[in-house]
Structures are given as C-alpha cells and as structure tokens.
Amino acid sequence: MTKYKVVMTNRLMEPALQNILANCEVKLWEKAEPIPREQLIEWLKDAHGLIASGNVRVDEELLQHAPELKVIAQAAVGYDNIDIAACTKRGIPFGNTPGVLVETTAELTFGLLLCAARRLHEAWNFVKGGHWVPGNNISFGMDLTGKTLGVVGMGQIGVAVARRARAFGMNIIYHNRNRRSDEPQIGAVYRSFTELLTEADCIIVLTPLAAETRGLFGRKEFALMKKTAYFVNASRGAVVDTPALLEALETGKIAYAALDVTDPEPLPGNHPLLKLPNILIAPHIGSATVETRTAMAVLTADNLLAGLAGKPLPACVNRSVNY
C-alpha cells in the first residue's frame, strides 16, 4: 500500500513520531534553525500532510506550492503563524492542540508571577554569586495574597491561572473578548480593558495573537498601569509593543515584567531587555514538560492521521472543511 507523504518542520516527542513514521513516508527537518522557505516549498510539492511549527509561516503563497495537501497539524494551541482563511479556501483542515497544555501552561504562568514577585531569580544569583554576607540582601518583593490579579484573555489557560491565584488569596478581575457567563465558578469579576489596567496589581496576558491583539499593550496601556504593577506575558510576544515595555520598565511606569514569550523570538543575547534589573524572561517554555509535550505530540499525530484518512480531526480550528 502506498504511504501518504508527510513533511514535518520539527521533531515530535515519541511515541507520536513513531506512529507517524510507521504510517507515512516522512521528510523531517531536524536542524535547530527553521526550515528555509525554499526547502519547505520543494518538500511540499507532493506532500499530503504537513506538521508545521511556530517558526514556519503557512500562507496562501506556500499553499500554492502544495497541491496535494490534505491536512496541516501543529503541536501548539496558538496558530498565529497559520493563515486559516487560506487553508479553508483550499479545503485543508488545520489541527491544533487545545486543552492538553492548559494546566502546564497555567503552572508556568503563575510560577513566573510568583518568582517575579518574590525575586527568586535575583535571590538565587545573589546567593550563587557569594553576596550573602551579614547586612547584605536583595531588594524586597511583593506579597501576592490580598492583591488584585487582572487576567487579559480569560480562556482555558486564563481560567486555570485564576484557580491558582484564588488559592493564593488573590482577588481576580478579567477582561475578555466576550464576557463570560461562568464568572461565579471562575471567581473573577469582569472589567473593561482600561479599568483592568488601572485597578490590577498584577496583569497576566493570555490572549491569542491576532490582528486585534497585536501591540495591545503599548505606551498608553503601560502608562495607565500602577507604578507598582507586575506584568506577565505568556501569550505571544507581539501582543506587547516591546520598545514600549522597555521604556515602561526603564522609567518606572511599571515595577516588573515576567515574560515567557518575546518579540522577537528567540531574544538576541544583546537585547536591551536583558540589561534591565526588573525583568525575568523564560524561553517560551509554557507547555514544556515531558508529559504535556508528549500529549501535544500525540494529539498532533492523531490530527494528522485523521486528516489523511479524510476523517474529522480530534481538534480542528476550521471545522467547516472537516465535518
């Protein structure tokens, strides 16, 4: 039996990779740098399936070079690198991995806030650097208990973060594209975007990156925040205007930022954000545990194989082409 041809722009965790290799003829890009566009175009010319990754742009121009493509899958919930309208126009279902990474990403997101508020990475560097001598200490942090957390983007991960914040005795306000009907269950109170910015002691961003959220946090928004505010971004780097964040941290418009995502990514080693004392940056590791990356890989393989077989994807973004 002829096997379907599949292009993978990065490696997936076992056993999902073995499942795909057993069922398909695979071209796998394994190098650390993103696959060059020309290489991807060349590989896609007779491919039936594509496993994409966040560093690959899937748009109309790319799809023109993939006439046989039946399905695209990606091991991520965010899909800002994929032109969904272009996929839909060609009848290609796109599968992502919602749900399976919610608790893990919430752990990292709330963990960033906790580490930032208690200055844990400064504390560790202080001790490691041999500065812990009588009379010397790091600058003090901030209690979370009793403070107001503002969640912007109260979706699956936002709700899981709110649950953790409640356990820490925080009051929770949120802003979302649509006001939620389950506020009592979540234990969060709705605010307009401006109200949230002015009222929150800590702000956590968990919206998708889309046209309406690109640059959502700019100079004006940082100016509205409390000077003591802690700002956490675990969504996508481009939701924040990076020069505006830099200025806000340098000039004391806000107190501190903790980021799991940056613009650009990876952040170059000489980037001015890295020179600031009031920032903590992680290299986009929200979902990066063995268990969760494995679950994401399994769902991605299931999406791919379902699409190749012409069946509904377990998690499909453009369902209109895949029922």
Ligand X SMILES: O=C(O)[C@H](O)CO
Ligand Y SMILES: NC(=O)c1ccc[n+]([C@@H]2O[C@H](COP(=O)([O-])OP(=O)(O)OC[C@H]3O[C@@H](n4cnc5c(N)ncnc54)[C@H](O)[C@@H]3O)[C@@H](O)[C@H]2O)c1
Segment interacting with ligand X, rule: CB under 6 A, options 35-43, 73-81, 127-135, 269-277: 73-81
- Per the structure block, which two tokens stand in for 219? 């100079």
What span, in angstroms and rounded, lies between the C-alpha atoms of 100 and 77? 9
DSSP string, 34-47: PPPHHHHHHHHTT-
Identify what 50 binds: ligand X, ligand Y, none; CB under 5 to 8 Å per kind.
none
Known active-site residue 180: no
Q: Where are the beta strands (DSSP E) in the chain?
A: 4-8, 24-28, 49-52, 71-74, 94-95, 148-152, 171-175, 189-190, 202-205, 230-233, 256-259, 279-281
Asked if 76 interacts with ligand X (CB under 6 A), we say yes
* Minimum CB distance to ligand X, residue 107 (Å): 14
Known active-site residue 236: yes
Site for ligand Y in 191-220 (CB under 6 A): 206-209, 212-213
Asked if 95 interacts with ligand Y (CB under 6 A), we say no
What number of other Cβ atoms are within 10 A of residue 131's Cβ? 11
Task: Return the residue matching tokens 């009848």.
Answer: 91
Known active-site residue 265: yes
What span, in angstroms and rounded, lies between the C-alpha atoms of 188 and 177? 15
Nearest residue to ligand Y, using CB?
155
Asked if 56 interacts with ligand X (CB under 6 A), we say no
| Helices and strands, number each (H, E), in the chain | 12, 12
What span, in angstroms and rounded, lies between the C-alpha atoms of 198 and 229? 9
Asked if 287 interacts with ligand X (CB under 6 A), we say yes
Q: What residues contact residue 295 under an 8 Å CB cut-off, 6+ apart?
A: 97, 100, 101
Residue (197 or 296) nearer to ligand X, CB: 296
Site for ligand Y in 44-73 (CB under 6 A): none
Encoded one letter per residue, x for contact with ligand X by CB under 6 A and - for no contact, window 143-182 reads ----------------------------------------
Segment interacting with ligand X, rule: CB under 6 A, options 1-9, 113-121, 173-181, 284-292: 284-292
Angle 136-141-147 from CA coordinates, rounded to 5°: 160
Chain positions contacting ligand X, by CB under 6 A: 76-78, 101, 284, 286-287
Chain positions contacting ligand Y, by CB under 6 A: 77-78, 98, 101, 105, 152-158, 175-178, 206-209, 212-213, 234-236, 260-261, 284, 286-287
Q: Which residues are catalytic?
A: 236, 265, 284
